[in-house]
């Protein structure tokens, strides 16, 4: 006989496993919002599972910008733009480029994390982000996940700028920030599950860095910076507590600050783009 069971999810407050139908956690009696960390649902909330909401929005932005860079590169004469974006186009759209960073274009530390240099680049990063982003949202909640991803991206590209003059783009700095967050979770947790999570994601980090050593155009400085930034934020943040506590309100505010800062960076990129690509 087949027994049908309700799908499970994790309570963002006490981390107990509950069913997706629960509106109040039976273990900690906290109310459960449609999405993690109490963020109000956006216009796509009915179509995107709550545990992947931030992840899916980041992926949509990444693919939208990739198509924009492909079209721009094609118009500039690059016949293979769909497979490989030329560096000039990437710089125009906000890549990390040290001379422009030195000239005060700090916003490139953010915008570079949403650009990709080719179809394999974006597909590989998207594959990892789709699963890893959902896991971090599940463990840390939406607001902390956003802060981890933002700080991982910025610290990653800052490390890249310090280490290498090469043009650099990609979501991997933010992704490494998420790996760092999962290592931090395993470090905090004194359970067998915590030890297993820490061990697994340390292996992930080693694989990423080894892959960077074996390939010519991988930015390992951005990966190391992302790991450090994500680990630091997550270690300080911990996992979510009661939704109405001051601590959670601070992290929600930090999440919104990251969103607004990212939007401001893309506005700066757009204004610079209009001025310099006429």
Q: Which residues participate in catalysis according to the annotation?
A: 172, 223
* Percent of the chain clearing pLDDT 70 (strictly above): 84
CA distance 104 to 201: 35
Dihedral-angle region of residue 38 (phi above 0 means left; psi in -120 to 50 means alpha; beta otherwise):
left
The single-letter DSSP state of residue 40 is P
**Tally of structural domains, the chain:** 1
Judged against a pLDDT cut of 80, whether residue 58 lies above it is answered with yes
Q: Is residue 39 part of a domain?
A: no
Mean pLDDT of 171-197: 91
Within a domain: 244: yes
Dist. CA 206–CA 220, nearest whole Å: 11
- Residue 29: phi and psi, rounded to 5, are 65, 20
Spell out the residues 6+ positions from residue 260 whose beta carbon is closer than 8 angstroms to its own: none
The yes-or-no verdict on residue 200 having pLDDT over 80 is yes
Cα–Cα distance measured from residue 223 to residue 230, given in angstroms and rounded to the nearest whole number: 10
- The domain containing residue 121 runs over which residues? 49-276
Task: Tell me the CATH number at 218.
Answer: 1.20.1540.10
Check residue 243 and give its pLDDT.
81
Query: Is 266 among the domain residues?
Result: yes
The per-residue pLDDT for 45 is: 43
Q: Specify if 263 maps to a domain.
A: yes
Q: What is the pLDDT of residue 79?
A: 86
| Best CA proximity match to 242, nearest among 9, 76, 13, 6 | 13
Q: What is the rounded average pLDDT for all residues in the chain?
A: 86
Residue 264 lies in a domain: yes
pTM listed for this prediction: 0.83
User: What count of other Cβ atoms lies within 10 Å of the Cβ of residue 70?
Assistant: 19
The model's confidence at residue 115, banded by pLDDT at 50, 70 and 90, is: very high
Judge whether 32 lies within some domain.
Answer: no
- Half-sphere exposure of residue 53: CA atoms within 13 angstroms, side-chain side: 22
Identify whether 38 is part of a domain.
no
**What pLDDT is attached to residue 179?**
96
pLDDT of residue 261: 98
Contact criterion met (CB below 8 Å) for 237 and 140: yes
| Least trusted range by pLDDT, from 100-114, 159-173, 211-225, 252-266 | 211-225
Q: State mean pLDDT over 79-104.
A: 94
Q: Which of residues 263 and 211 earns the better pLDDT score?
A: 263
- The answer as to whether 232 is a domain residue is yes
Whether 111 contacts 61, CB under 8 Å: no
């Amino acid at each position: 006989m087949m027994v049908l069971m309700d799908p499970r999810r994790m309570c963002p407050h006490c981390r107990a496993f509950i069913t997706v139908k629960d509106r109040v956690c039976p273990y900690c009696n906290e109310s459960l919002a449609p999405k993690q960390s109490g963020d109000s649902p956006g216009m796509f909330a009915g179509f995107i599972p709550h545990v992947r909401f931030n992840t899916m929005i980041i992926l949509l932005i990444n693919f939208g910008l990739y198509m924009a860079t492909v079209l721009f590169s094609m118009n500039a004469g690059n016949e293979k733009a769909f497979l490989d974006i030329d560096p000039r186009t990437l710089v125009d759209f906000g890549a990390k480029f040290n001379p422009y960073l030195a000239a005060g274009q700090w916003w490139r530390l953010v915008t570079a994390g949403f650009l990709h240099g080719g179809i394999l680049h974006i597909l590989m990063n998207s594959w990892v982000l789709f699963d890893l982003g959902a896991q971090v949202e599940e463990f840390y909640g939406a607001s902390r996940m956003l802060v981890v991803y933002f700080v991982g991206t910025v610290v990653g590209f800052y490390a890249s700028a310090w280490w290498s003059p090469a043009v650099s783009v990609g979501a991997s700095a933010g992704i490494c920030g998420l790996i760092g967050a999962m290592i931090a979770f395993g470090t905090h947790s004194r359970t067998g599950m915590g030890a297993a999570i820490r061990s697994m994601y340390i292996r992930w980090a080693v694989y990423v860095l080894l892959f960077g050593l074996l390939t010519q155009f991988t930015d390992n400085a951005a990966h190391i910076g992302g790991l450090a930034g994500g680990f630091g934020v997550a270690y300080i943040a911990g996992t979510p507590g009661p939704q109405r506590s001051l601590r959670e309100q601070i992290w929600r505010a930090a999440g919104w600050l990251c969103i607004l800062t990212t939007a401001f960076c893309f506005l700066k990129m757009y204004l610079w783009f209009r001025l310099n690509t006429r």
